[in-house]
Structure 1
Amino acid sequence: MSETADERSLASRLRLAVVRLNRRLRAQRASSDLSLTQISALSTLHKCGPMTPGQLATREGVQPPSMTRVIAALEELSYVVRSPHPTDGRQAIVTLTDAGNEYVLATITRREAWLDQRLAELSEEERQTLSEAAEIIDRMARHG
């Protein structure tokens, strides 16, 4: 079954809109001291809990040496700590510190405040449309 021009146009428009929104949301961070890769690693630790550097690299889709550098920078800023693995002496466990957790929460708060402002500028009908679209987009994303 071939796509119609309208379907391709919708796919293109949706992709561009999501990319632009994501870019604007990423810009709303607690400070500009961290790279997006560092923020992403902190967010993963916040969401998933402590893990080995290898597990974190896999989740982030980067090579272990790159993640080692990210962890070292975050450790220097006191956003993460490394501790010995409880069963494997060759491994370490990376854990978010209170400061790292506060950074992630502050960034989430800033992003949601920015988005709340944008939503407040819309009509009730537009917000309802976005609510329905959010459910559909979430469903699409879950079918990976």
Structure 2
Amino acid sequence: MRYANYVAESDAERGLASRLRLAVVRLTRRLRAQRVNSAISLTQVSALSTLHKCGPLTPGELAAKEGVQPPSMTRVIAALEEFGFATRRPHPTDGRQAIVELTDAGLAYIDEEVSAREAWLDKRLAELTPEDRAVLSRAAEIIDRMAGQ
């Protein structure tokens, strides 16, 4: 259904966008609070996650995927290298470029972060009824589809 054609059919639907936005923001905030190491910034965690998902990238590619300027990403990469979570190696075909990739420590860190957040979420889901979990399962599919558009 196109947005221009969407008309709320009831009072319950009229506030859906606002309620959904607020619920997603609150859940995201709670999940972010389940961090294993607060010494690393959320920007740095995001860059690590992108490297985990996409594999080795040039600093420019990483900056573009993260939606930041290359000089900002250079600082993020330097910090990740200091933590031992990422490393740079020469680009195989362009001597002016480098390739940034996760180290084993970086991969372990991402795995710990994901495990901590999923453990928290698993506990919250276990408190729900089977019916509520089924509704959330369907909602997750719909939200993922919306986010992909």
**Band of TM-score, shorter chain:** over 0.9
Question: Who is 2:80 aligned against?
Answer: 74
Partner of 1:134, secondary structure, is helix
**How many Å separate the matches in 1 of 2:135 and 2:6?**
28
State the percentage of identical aligned residues. 71
Q: Which runs of 5+ in 1 are unaligned?
A: none
How big is the shift at 1:130? 0.6
* Structure 2 residue 128 is the aligned partner of structure 1 residue 122: yes
* Structure 2 residue 101 is the aligned partner of structure 1 residue 104: no
Q: Which runs of 5+ in 2 are unaligned?
A: none
- TM-score norm. by structure 2 comes to 0.91
* Structure 2 residue 33 is the aligned partner of structure 1 residue 27: yes
Partner of 2:27, secondary structure, is helix
Q: How does 1:32-111 map to 2 (within 5 A)?
A: 32-111=38-117
Deviations 1:87-110 (A, max 9, x none): 000000001000000000000000
Q: Which amino acid aligns with 1:58?
A: A
Partner of 1:34, secondary structure, is coil
- TM-score norm. by structure 1 comes to 0.94
**How many Å separate the matches in 2 of 1:52 and 1:107?**
24
Give the stretch that moved more between structures: 22-31 or 11-20: 22-31
- Label 1:98 to 1:133 Cα distance change in 2 as closer, same or farther (>3 A): same
Runs (4 or more) in structure 1 with deviation over 6 Å come to none
Deviations 1:65-119 (A, max 9, x none): 0000000000011110011100000000001000000000000000100000000
How big is the shift at 1:2? 6.3
How big is the shift at 1:124? 1.0
Give the stretch that moved more between structures: 96-105 or 130-139: 130-139
The size of the alignment, in residue pairs, is: 143
